[in-house]
Structure 1
């Protein structure tokens, strides 16, 4: 079955990591379209993407990861894509697995997550983040009854149904765990596949040590709210 697929890359100050990522995508899945959502970067992110020959949406203000990703989903919706694959601009996500994510949609999933913790190979994140990820696994299990191994992974593929849903409703800050709960609440079929991730190639993480406590509290409340809301927001 032929699927029209868009790869969405949210990017903020990723001029150093994008050339390698875009080359990897071109080598592994040249049949898919690519859109970089430049989240009002202060470096040469936009120019680098244009030099590589990919489409860029330059946001006039910084919307954060959630706003940038949702802009990509809206682009996919309005341009008739059957599937969208979210790939971080920092080089952590390996383009070799994009085809496998899409294949899960062809098998019936609405949303497929690339998980680094199924086979536990490659970069496993820092110890403190692994503790946080384990916490969210437990919280999501308690709320939904589902076992998710990597709820903070932004490496994911969505079919048309999920694209339509996320185009309407997508959290602004640290959205990954919340979107899994809201997708489950709205009867989307969610799956995971094992992937190997890399350490980031450049840029800086949006989650600093000073933001860690805020992150845990904010996302926990958002996950609980998403679970009890009726049919999404």
Structure 2
């Protein structure tokens, strides 16, 4: 459906990338509306389940990809839209319900008061009830070490998909964004460009429905790809 931003909340857009999220999307959007006044858009990344039907039946502002482009393609579509419509800030909120919309206020306050380009919501800056799989925790720690090695910046939760960026970062991401598994790559890229990146503590939950599309094969591919590209960029920076 056509997406027309409201004048009142034009400064902030919440981008919800969704691929086969029929089990969690409705709840995520209901919580978002309950806890924030901000505009949002769902990026339906070529879903093959009932996600498109739910979006239509519930009247969610949305953009749809004819084919699956991955999380990077979804987020770039969202950033292009935010750029075109003049939003000052854009927030990534995954459709699976792991992120708590009530924590969005913390991201907004941090990016505005800290004069920052990106603020990441971290599960690990303070004790929380989040318990991921052992493999996921190992992967997160690996990327924490990689980002520290490449940038000197300590990011405890580099794979977090709960983040806010300002206007100049929106403009950058609308022009160029990694196609798949982009979270770690963009942190390294931003820091190398002199952008200001910071974490704040947030609470996260287990996925509220459906299944993750990331398996062991994709995880290994992700780790090798991000490491290779990051090292190449470091060599030529």
Per the TM superposition, whether the score is higher than 0.5 is yes
Q: Which residue of 1 aligns with 2:107?
A: 101
1:162–1:98 Cα change, 3 Å: same
My pick for the range that moved more, 52-61 or 144-153, is 52-61
Are 2:10 and 2:39, in contact at CA under 8 Å, matched by a contact in 1?
A: no
**TM-superposition CA deviations, 1:144-200 (whole Å, max 9, x none):** 111000000010001101101111111111110101000111111101110111111
- Structure 1 moving runs of 4+ over 4 Å: none
Indicate whether 1:171 and 2:178 are aligned.
yes
Indicate whether 1:215 and 2:222 are aligned.
yes
My pick for the range that moved more, 82-91 or 119-128, is 119-128
Q: Which residue of 2 aligns with 1:90?
A: 96
Mapping of residues 118-157 of structure 1, within 5 Å: 118-157=125-164
Indicate whether 1:180 and 2:193 are aligned.
no
Q: Which residue of 2 aligns with 1:66?
A: 72
Q: Secondary structure at the match of 1:71?
A: helix
Report the Cα distance in structure 1 between the residues aligned to 2:85 and 2:111, rounded to whole angstroms.
19
Gaps of 5+ in 2: 1-8
My pick for the range that moved more, 142-151 or 124-133, is 124-133
Q: Which residue of 1 aligns with 2:81?
A: 75
Report the Cα distance in structure 1 between the residues aligned to 2:13 and 2:233, rounded to whole angstroms.
27
Are 1:185 and 1:226, in contact at CA under 8 Å, matched by a contact in 2?
A: no
Mapping of residues 103-118 of structure 1, within 5 Å: 103-107=109-113, 108-118=115-125
Report the Cα distance in structure 1 between the residues aligned to 2:209 and 2:152, rounded to whole angstroms.
37
Are 2:159 and 2:183, in contact at CA under 8 Å, matched by a contact in 1?
A: yes
Report the Cα distance in structure 2 between the residues aligned to 1:45 and 1:228, rounded to whole angstroms.
42
Instruction: State the 1:53 CA deviation.
Output: 2.8
Q: Which residue of 1 aligns with 2:27?
A: 20
Are 2:96 and 2:210, in contact at CA under 8 Å, matched by a contact in 1?
A: yes
Are 1:17 and 1:89, in contact at CA under 8 Å, matched by a contact in 2?
A: yes
1:165–1:96 Cα change, 3 Å: same
Q: Secondary structure at the match of 2:43?
A: strand
Residue 9 of structure 1 is aligned with which of 4, 10, 16? 16
Instruction: State the 1:54 CA deviation.
Output: 2.0
Q: Secondary structure at the match of 2:171?
A: helix
CA root-mean-square deviation: 1.4
1:153–1:229 Cα change, 3 Å: farther
Instruction: Normalising by structure 1, report the TM-score.
Output: 0.93
Residue 63 of structure 2 is aligned with which of 57, 65, 84? 57
Q: Which residue of 1 aligns with 2:52?
A: 46
Gaps of 5+ in 1: none
